[in-house]
Structure 1
């Protein structure tokens, strides 16, 4: 809140404050004489009142004087808002629970419905146990890399340090994240790691789904999501792709003080360049909601026509993973959810596309406005507080602790402070003039920065060898077999248990048109009847095609999915008798049927002779 005061009163207070500080520092107790005052700048001369010449100030006096005058000057015209620390903690925890609930609830639908609304009958039901599925979701653990960088290297860590830490991450990535990290590992330092010259996914959703942290640690301070977007969002996104994350972060920052969703959105809009297409999308959603506040499906169709079917809004777009279309679905859920957590998540999910990340963003913002005390118990009843998020050092208590630590540092750097009143800590947060990033267009980018990592920096980048890890997993599971073209989706590797089977190998196609291949060269005995036996499974919401080839010739193809398996598993036998006595190349292909949950689960691979 703003606390205006008359100039004379402030001046008198300033003189008293400085005198007190000087006496505290030197104990000299000199008087102070006001020489001149221009607007908010007060010049003070140290010396006896009425003296002809001012005394020469010691260095300590000068420091105290500067601090005191600056503090008083800042009080004139600076507006503060107050937030009890207990309320911050309540809302901050709710922000993370909202993300977890949204991503876990929407996960079975992710990218299964593109350019169409998910039928109401196909919307999964919420189960309290789902909340713990969020610990393995990239929607959460990737942004914790950024928190860890700031925890270890400070808020002022360089963008190059941020890039090194991201390059060293061991989790699988896709789209802009993967392109940016690949650039970093190849020596292209930020900001060029996200430049469209080197990154073909600059407008993808990636930083949008990872920027929640930037507002959670900056309540009421929207310039920090902007700054942090320039540091961490710049690793993988450019233009609208980066603005998307800055906007999401600004919504969180606003949600600590505001609960009216259209106001939160309109306030956060100020944090991104008004000439960007992302800002245009936000303005459209606000206008379309005002025009038709009760029919979200009608608004969905307006979104589809403009942001999917109009070529003007497909420039530098990677299709359904574009930040604008998915950002529109986040706002669709927030606006038409009208403050109801279930309705918000359901609408953001049923809009389709990245239908786990979008409800995660929407629920995170909404739950922040609510605080954990108002979040329905079904979202927290069985939450495992001890489980760590995949690829991170944090469980829920550790995550909230590091967020509070960083929040206190941000508050101090922003000119705010923590005061104690009636036994309670209160955050005094300065109201900021928002300063958005400069406008840049991914389809018409500016020049590159020529940023390269130095040799010493490259020696600090020691990322995991995914291909080597997968080959070691295959060798343990099925000695003599090789793996190629395995993609990182769904965290491939050797699983201790899956759907009642132990020691299960998980593979995933490299891309939508490139299947993962397990192969082995072997000589079949001349006598007997050689036979290949497999036990294969699928992810509950997915399916895939099993292809068996001998010397490049396909001898079997079957779809492995819910309709073709028993309790998720299929026994497959392939006759190899025609190749008895020969050396053959045997290939097993995990071929995608689409691009949703295409993982193959291998419980057995054996060649037997009867």
Structure 2
């Protein structure tokens, strides 16, 4: 009997432990305080860090100047009599409204809709590139793909996605997966990993107050061999080796992940670098918000984003009540954090808000999500508690994610996937229509060799086992690309003025830029040396640029494809564009019946233009020895002094010319 009693006791303990592992509970009062900490902590970190953004690169800031305080932003806080929006909090504010509109798991298509309507300026790098691709017609995750978003490796997703985790308290696996899903709106590869790691920490921080444990626990949600996971482990090792000198650790991280970073991804906004600096500040800050903020700023690079993210994380760990008044109520007369005012100065048609109201709305979303994933509200003698199911998992909504259309040339093998990371394992079928002769469709992949040019409407279907959806596509089979056979390249600018370019405000790794116009018919559409800028002398004036080809004998041409390169903040686009051919007397004429697919944007603002996309010009076939595109280049005003004297230019990676039958 005694032995049986021990066995039963052991089984009961095992079952109790299993139940505890499956669920966690938190009082509604504490839940609200921690979600308040997430919002207010992010506002503190963002506004605290802004004056130091990109300031400390070569060397860190001086600890002798701690505490930094709000610096010049104290006046801005007074101007708005509250907190003001910035990209560290305003897109999360947008995401809150999208959750309220569509539910806790909006689709990528719904996210695109929200971005395009509310975001019209004041985003940069990967966020801005994603927005341009949305205007082109892409949906995520193609908007974050490394193949189309040349800023895929930048910091952007770390600073806009924390809300997916603090609406999933204690549901750490769910928060990690949903954070990755959201990160892919703007980013790819290892650049999504810091978002996953911080997302896991945010969800776990509702039940953990040990910074070191939090960092290590969240690493479990990153894949084996992940670059960022290895970097975080290096930060932990540096902290153990130099526990009293964050400067020593910072120097080693800056050397390895900035100064010695591979040239194509070497920027001060690199996701791996900046994610590591946030972990450094967390460890050396020791849980003290003020010191963590100061180290976060002094560590440098894109520091306002780190301080916002880690400020919100500490806010979740300790609650809003633990945030010092000097940081949350820095102005005389304020009785609530930031005077309970969040003033929107950055997002179109987003109202100012009461911070208390933002917190309550977020709590409502967290409760709704938890209850939809197996959690529940439990009434106790001490009040209500939210019980969450830690086994909850995020499954991306079923949808056709829209990316590039297949580039199909008659007589040339094609291998194109319509699938992406979120629907690759679904059941793909050809529901309607006939494929071009020579092509086959299987598991979302189109492959084979098309026999002849033409247009083929088809309907594809997609199923996850419980739901099936359909979408129409038109497959365009082109003739032969004869650009590589041209006898000469026609261009008004044949060599980019690189000296001037490198003095401007450029955001890409230097290997991206080609020296000579010859790259526009080499078949390489992305990567090192693929992009040609028609950038000439220092003269900020509109100019006409042209690019084309000359052939020794007449060719019958009916289609031209223009692959745009990467856009800078100050240019790369055009105000108008046309296709021209040369007649027998040497005169240039515009082609007749020209249509463009997809349609050209209604606005010529460089801000919303996409990187690395194709525009297909179809027209009545002409027989000619020369064809070109000609454009009025767009002059885009810019704040940088050197850039103000830059000539307008086109950014092109490939120009293809197709024979007509």
TM over 0.5: yes
1:96 aligns with 2:39: yes
Distance change >3 Å, CA 591–CA 420, structure 1 → 2: closer
Does the C-alpha gap of structure 1 residues 157 and 200 become closer, same or farther in structure 2, counting only changes over 3 Å? same
Match of 1:413 among 355, 360, 372: 372
Contact 1:223 1:432 in 2 (8 A): yes
Shift of 1:450: 5.9
CA distance in 2, matches of 1:588, 1:270: 45
> Structure 1, residues 410-454: CA drift from partner, whole Å, max 9, x if none?
2112211110101511111223388999xxxxxxxx986467998
Q: Which moved more, 1:228-237 or 1:104-113?
A: 228-237
How many equivalent pairs are there?
401
* CA contact 1:211–1:246 (8 Å) conserved in 2: no
The answer to whether the Cα contact below 8 Å between 1:349 and 1:355 also exists between their aligned partners in 2 is yes
Residue equivalent to 2:609: none
Alpha-carbon spacing, 1:277–1:188, altered in 2? closer, same or farther (3 Å)? same
Q: Tell me what 1:362 maps to.
A: 310
- Give 1:316 deviation, angstroms: 5.5
Q: Distance in 2 between matches of 1:351 and 1:417?
A: 42
Residue 281 (structure 1) aligned with residue 231 (structure 2): yes
Counterpart-to-counterpart distance in 2, 1:177 and 1:331: 23
Shift of 1:407: 0.4
The answer on 1:85 being equivalent to 2:36 is no
> 2 CA distance for matches of 1:155 and 1:87?
21
Kindly report which structure 2 residues correspond to 1:490-501, keeping only aligned pairs within 5 A, or say none.
none
Partner of 2:69: 125
| Alpha-carbon offset, residue 76 of structure 1 | 6.1
Task: Give the SS at the match of 1:116.
Answer: coil
SS state of the match for residue 274, structure 1? coil
Q: Which residue of 1 aligns with 2:103?
A: 154
Q: In 2, distance between residues paired with 1:590 and 1:435?
A: 42
TM-score normalised by length of structure 1:
0.59
3-state DSSP of counterpart to 1:232: helix
- Aligned with 2:388: secondary structure? strand
Q: What are the residue-to-residue correspondences of 1:288-367 with 2, within 5 Å?
A: 288-311=238-261, 314=262, 317-367=265-315
Query: C-alpha separation between the residues in 1 aligned to 2:95 and 2:134?
Result: 15
1:294 to 1:403, Cα distance in 2 relative to 1, 3 A:
same
Match of residue 143 from structure 2: 193
Deviation at 1:363, TM superposition (A): 1.4
Backbone CA RMSD of aligned residues: 3.9
8 Å contact kept, 1:201–1:318 = no
1:591 deviates by 5.9
SS of alignment partner, residue 364 of structure 1: helix
For 1:137 and 1:516, how far apart are their aligned partners in 2? Answer: 33
Q: Give the 5 Å matches for 1:146-295.
A: 146-168=95-117, 169-295=119-245
Which structure 1 residue ranges, 5 or more long, are not aligned? 11-39, 41-72, 438-445, 457-486, 490-511, 520-586, 596-610
Match of 2:344 in 1: 389
Distance change >3 Å, CA 234–CA 413, structure 1 → 2: same
| Change beyond 3 A, Cα 1:242–1:326 | same
1:593 offset after TM fit, Å?
4.5
Q: Post-superposition shift, 1:379?
A: 2.1
Distance 1:589 1:326, change over 3 A: closer
Find the aligned partners of 2:354 and 2:541 in 1 and give their Cα distance: 36
Q: 2:92 aligns with which of 131, 143, 149?
A: 143
Quick one: distance in 1 between partners of 2:271 and 2:316? 22
CA shift at 1:126, angstroms? 3.5
Query: Which aligned pairs between 1:365-444 and structure 2 lie closer than 5 A?
Result: 365-381=313-329, 382=334, 383-390=338-345, 391=347, 392-393=350-351, 394-432=353-391
Q: Secondary structure of 1:592's partner?
A: coil
1:237-258 deviations in Å (ceiling 9; x for gaps): 1122222212111111111111
Q: Which runs of 5+ in 2 are unaligned?
A: 1-6, 397-414, 421-459, 461-469, 474-504, 508-534, 543-634, 644-661
Contact 1:203 1:318 in 2 (8 A): no
Question: 3-state DSSP class of the match of 2:378?
Answer: strand
**TM-score using structure 2 length:** 0.55
The 8 Å contact of residues 321 and 354 in structure 1, kept in 2 or not, is answered as yes
Q: In 2, Cα distance between the equivalents of 1:87 and 1:447?
A: 50
Q: Give the match's secondary structure for 1:384.
A: helix
Q: For 1:160 and 1:200, how far apart are their aligned partners in 2?
A: 21
- Greater helix proportion: 1
Distance 2:56 2:539 in 1: 24
| Deviation for aligned residue 1:516 | 11
* Cα shift at 1:113: 2.4
Q: Contact 1:92–1:400 at 8 Å: present in 2 too?
A: yes
Say if 1:421 and 1:172 are closer, same or farther in 2 by CA, change over 3 A.
same
CA 1:90 to 1:346, structure 2 compared with 1: closer, same or farther past 3 Å? same
Rounded to whole Å, the distance in 2 between the matches of 1:144 and 1:163 is: 15
